[in-house]
């Protein structure tokens, strides 16, 4: 994966959060679900490309577990 792909994934998460914060969605429950979906997408992108991040030293032992916990947390929040 290239740096431009990483930047694109970051921009997608940033743009979605920015758009959601400025939106006029009145249903707070829907807004929370959309925020959770954006978070899951971002965390999945980080997990998907974790090997280069470990090799570069950006991640240390235990980071992957935190990312997985975050994904599980937001997934549980979406379930009725």
* pLDDT tens across the length of the chain (80 residues): 567 887 888 899 999 999 999 999 999 999 999 999 999 999 998 888 777 777 777 777 778 888 889 999 999 999 87
Residue 1 pLDDT: 57
Residue 32 phi, psi dihedral angles, 5° rounding: -65, -40
**CA pair distance 47, 51, nearest whole angstrom:** 8
Q: How far apart are CA 33 and CA 39, in angstroms?
A: 10
The residues spanned by each domain of the chain are: 3-78
Angle between helix 28-48 and 3-22 (nearest 10): 170
């Amino acid at each position: 994966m290239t740096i431009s792909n990483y930047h694109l994934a970051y921009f997608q998460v940033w743009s979605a959060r920015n758009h959601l914060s400025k939106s006029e969605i009145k249903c707070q429950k829907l807004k929370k679900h959309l925020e959770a979906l954006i978070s899951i997408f971002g965390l999945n992108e980080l997990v998907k490309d974790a090997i280069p991040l470990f090799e570069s030293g950006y991640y240390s032992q235990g980071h992957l577990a935190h990312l997985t916990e975050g994904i599980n947390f937001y997934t549980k929040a979406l379930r009725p």
